[in-house]
């Protein structure tokens, strides 16, 4: 941790430094909102997948595939919630880093999301290929 790094040669409390920090905080906040949208999208997809499974089950009786749809939907919704939590943790960390002038370009939350989304999409592809 190199907390002594100075990004501004001048006074860190100067108006320019304050403006720069404000822009960084606003960018961080936009990023949190993007995380929230992504999380909600995952939750909505999970809801659609689970609901359509129930709908089909009511139409033509029981089937193994429809229980799989419900399970897949629940996994998607849980994944959306995990993504939202990861986005919130990332937001708080970056906020602290900006205030301490010690920014680290971390990507753990993004890679977690890529892994989760990829895995769930592969599951959905298998489900759609098997059950149609």
Partner 1 sequence: MPSSTSARSIRVLLGLAPSSGVAGGTGDGVRIRDHLAAVRTLLAWQRAAVTLCGVAAIVSRLRQHRLLIERISATGLVLVAVVLVLLAGLRLLTTGDELVPGAVERRPLVAALPLVLVAVAAALLTILAAQPWS
Residues at the interface with partner 1 (CB under 8 A): 7, 20, 23-24, 27-28, 30-31, 34-35, 37-38, 41-42, 44-45, 48-49, 52, 55-56, 59-60, 94, 98, 103-108, 110-111, 113-114, 117-118, 121-122, 124-125, 128-129, 132
Query: What is the spatial distance between Cα 82 and Cα 75, in angstroms, rounded to a whole number?
Result: 10
The least distance separating partner 1 from the CB of residue 129, rounded to whole angstroms, comes to 4
Query: What is the spatial distance between Cα 108 and Cα 28, in angstroms, rounded to a whole number?
Result: 16
Nearer to partner 1, 48 or 92 (CB): 48
From its phi and psi, is residue 103 left (phi > 0), alpha (psi between -120 and 50) or beta? beta
């Amino acid at each position: 941790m190199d907390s002594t790094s100075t990004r501004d040669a001048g006074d860190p409390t100067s108006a320019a430094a304050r403006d720069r920090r404000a822009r960084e905080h606003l960018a961080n906040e936009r990023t949190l909102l993007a995380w929230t949208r992504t999380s909600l999208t995952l939750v909505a997809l999970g809801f659609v997948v689970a609901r359509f499974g129930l709908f089909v089950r009511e139409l033509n009786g029981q089937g193994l595939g429809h229980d799989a749809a419900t399970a897949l939907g629940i996994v998607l919704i849980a994944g959306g919630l995990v993504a939202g939590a990861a986005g919130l943790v990332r937001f708080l960390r970056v906020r602290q880093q900006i205030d301490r002038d010690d920014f680290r370009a971390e990507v753990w939350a993004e890679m977690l999301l890529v892994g989760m989304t990829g895995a769930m999409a592969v599951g959905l592809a298998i489900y759609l290929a098997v059950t149609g």
